[in-house]
Each structure stands twice: as C-alpha cells, then as structure tokens.
C-alpha cells in the first residue's frame, strides 16, 4: 500500500504529532484504543458468560477466537479507512495514516500519567499520588509509600517504552496505520485479559502469547537504545545498564518486559521489582538492578527523560535514514 520511504516520513510525522498533541481529551473525538477496549469488553461478555462454567480447553479456544475477532476487524477497518482517504486524495491518505499512527504512540501520554503521580508526591499529597498510581498499574496502591509509588511508576514508564513507543513505531514502519493499530489492539488485549490469574489464565492465554510474539524484537531494540542513551547521558550508567539487562531481564515473568525495566534500573542505580499486592494476594516480582541508593520521586522524572531520549534517538535515526539512504 505504501513504500518504506512513505511509511518512514509518516512515522516521523506521527512522532512529532504525539510529542505535541499526545492523547487529546476532545469530547467529540474518542481515542481509537478506547474503542478497541470497548469492543474487547463486548466480545469477552459474549465469549465468557459469567453464569456459564467452561472447561480449560474451551476457555483457551474462546480466547483464541477473541484474538481473531479483535485483530482482524481492527486491521480490516483501518485498511478500509486509509484506502478511502487515499482514494479521495493521496495527501488525505497520508494525513489519516499519520493521525492514527500517532494514536498508537503514547510518549506524551506516558509523561502526563507519570507526572500525575510525581506532582502530588512532590507536594506531600500521598493519597492523591496513590490514586493516580492506581490508574496506571494493576497492583493495590492504597497503602504504598513514596519509594513503592516511585517504583510502580518507573516500572510502568520503562515497560511502556516498548509497548507504547518502540513496538507501534516498528509496526507503523512495516505497514503504516493498519499494522500499527493491529499491534495496539493486540497490546490492549494483553492489558485487559492477559493475566496469569484464575480468571484469565486460560481465556487470556492467546492474548498474552501473541503480545509476547509481537514485542519480542522491538523489546530487544529498545534495550539497545536504552543502553545507548545511558552511555550518552551524564548521570546515567551505560555499563551498569548493560550488565543489568544481561543479569536480570531473564528473571522477569515476561520475555520482553524485563529488558526495559532492568535497563532503566541499571541506568539509574536503583532496584525495581519486589513485593506487589493484587486484590489482597501478595506476589513477589523478580528484583532487577542493584539498590545502590533509595528510590526517590526524582527517579520518575529521570525515567520520563529516558523515555523521551529513546524517542529522540529513534526519530533521529529515521530522519538520517530517510535523508541519506532512501
């Protein structure tokens, strides 16, 4: 549909749109990911009725069907939209692609979510910080103190360097808006049903595995970018970031999330992971990095700067590639 050169320039434009606009809170415009989440919720209610006991095998089959009935319509609908726009005028096609590609990215949105925790923390409003941390993590935040609120926020931003930037950008380069939105739909499936608990262990199995597959290469690219940024920026440690990825990433239950989390932990000289509480149940997460110092709220801002640094590196790399190679 689009050449690599066209996809590259649209991806660069999408990064800029995300930097400037982010996730707009316009009443007349619902974010595409919200619509995808609503569709997934509707499918879940149909495929896994609360009043109908189902076997493990049946739940897995229905979970596979959930993936197919989510990804295929999203991809086909997005393809139809961009083809229609391109038919009206090629520049409209480019604009529609750029807009939807930008909604698959979330650099500014991640910054805003992190700062919504940092600001009340810095002003001593702990209950408010706990509330906003609860919006971005699944763990119980009602009793967390500043070091644990910081950890939760840093882990979320670090993990989403892959999920909300590197991965969707990679798929945008491969297939413009349709493939970027397909990835975003897969990631939304994982965030809604891809849990290893009694409710979703079987039904969410396919969603979790598919998300792992799609993130496998982008997560490793993100690890290289994070280590490179840590080498380049004073106050961060590139060698320690690299050692942390080598030593700790494999301990994470996800084959991908441990890479950015351990890279950030090593770069900052803090420890991530530890004890989390989910719905009253205690869970021990793999510890990553070395606790060279106590975590502090400034680590949230430092992680946001790392997030932006990775986005600058990728945007700069794409710009050089577009000007000198393509």
pLDDT in tens, 249-295: 999 999 999 999 999 999 999 999 999 888 778 888 889 999 999 99
Tell me what pLDDT residue 138 has.
Answer: 86
Q: What percent of the chain has pLDDT over 90?
A: 86
Tell me what pLDDT residue 28 has.
Answer: 63
If we measure between CA atoms, which residue out of 310, 6, 315, 322 comes closest to residue 159?
310
Residue 198 or residue 123, greater confidence: 123
The predicted model gives 59-68 an average pLDDT of 96
Of the listed ranges 39-43, 55-59, 256-260, 276-280, the least confidently predicted one is: 276-280
Residues 169, 13 contacting (CB under 8 angstroms) = no
Q: What is the DSSP string of 124-165?
A: T-HHHHHHHHHHH-SS--TT--HHHHHHHHHHHHHHHHIIII
DSSP for residue 29: -
Two tokens at 181?
A: 């939105």
pTM above 0.75, yes or no: yes
Tell me what pLDDT residue 324 has.
Answer: 87
Cα–Cα dist 293/270, whole Å: 6
Residue spans of beta strands (DSSP E) within 54-97: none
Sort strands 272-278 and 281-288 into parallel, antiparallel or unpaired.
antiparallel
Tell me what pLDDT residue 53 has.
Answer: 86
pLDDT band at 2 (very low <50, low <70, confident <90, very high): confident
Residues 159, 257 contacting (CB under 8 angstroms) = yes
Tell me what pLDDT residue 197 has.
Answer: 83
Judge whether residue 174 has pLDDT over 80: yes
Tell me what pLDDT residue 31 has.
Answer: 86
Do you know the residue count of the chain?
Answer: 326
Judge whether residue 206 has pLDDT over 80: yes
Tell me what pLDDT residue 27 has.
Answer: 64
**Beta bridge partners of residue 275, listed in sequence order:** 284
Tell me what pLDDT residue 293 has.
Answer: 95
Judge whether residue 323 has pLDDT over 70: yes
Q: What percent of the chain has pLDDT over 70?
A: 98
Residue spans of beta strands (DSSP E) within the chain: 272-278, 281-288
Instruction: State the average pLDDT for the chain.
Output: 94
92-150 residue pLDDT tens: 999 999 999 999 999 999 999 999 999 999 999 999 999 999 999 988 999 999 999 99
The predicted model gives 239-253 an average pLDDT of 97
- Sketch the domain layout of the chain as residue ranges: 4-324
């Amino acid at each position: 549909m689009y050449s690599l050169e066209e996809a590259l320039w649209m991806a660069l434009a999408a990064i800029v749109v995300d930097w400037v606009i982010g996730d707009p809170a316009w009443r007349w415009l619902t974010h595409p990911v919200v619509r995808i989440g609503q569709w997934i919720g509707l499918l879940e209610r149909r495929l896994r009725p609360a009043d109908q006991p189902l076997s493990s095998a049946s739940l897995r089959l229905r979970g596979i069907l959930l993936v197919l009935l989510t990804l295929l319509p999203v991809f086909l609908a997005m393809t139809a939209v961009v083809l229609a726009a391109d038919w009206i005028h090629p520049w409209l096609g480019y604009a529609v692609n750029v807009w939807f590609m930008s909604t698959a990215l979330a650099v500014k949105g991640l910054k805003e979510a992190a700062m919504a925790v940092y600001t009340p923390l810095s002003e001593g409003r702990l209950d408010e910080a706990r509330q906003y941390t609860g919006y971005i993590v699944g763990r119980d935040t009602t009793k967390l103190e500043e070091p644990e609120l910081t950890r939760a926020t840093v882990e979320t931003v670090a993990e989403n360097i892959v999920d909300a930037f590197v991965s969707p950008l990679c798929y945008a380069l491969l297939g413009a808006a349709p493939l970027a939105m397909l990835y975003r739909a897969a990631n939304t499936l994982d965030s809604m049903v891809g849990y290893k608990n009694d409710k979703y262990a079987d039904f969410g199995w396919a969603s979790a595995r598919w998300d792992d597959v799609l993130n496998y290469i982008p997560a490793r690219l993100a690890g290289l970018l994070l280590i490179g940024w840590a080498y380049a920026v004073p106050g961060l440690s590139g060698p320690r970031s690299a050692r942390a990825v080598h030593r700790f990433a494999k301990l994470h239950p996800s084959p991908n999330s441990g890479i950015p989390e351990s890279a950030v932990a090593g770069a900052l000289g803090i420890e991530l992971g530890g004890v989390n509480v989910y719905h009253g149940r205690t869970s021990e997460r793999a510890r990553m990095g070395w606790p060279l110092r106590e975590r502090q709220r400034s680590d949230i801002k430092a992680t946001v700067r790392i997030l932006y640094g990775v986005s600058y590196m990728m945007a700069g790399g794409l710009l050089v590639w577009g000007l000198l190679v393509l």
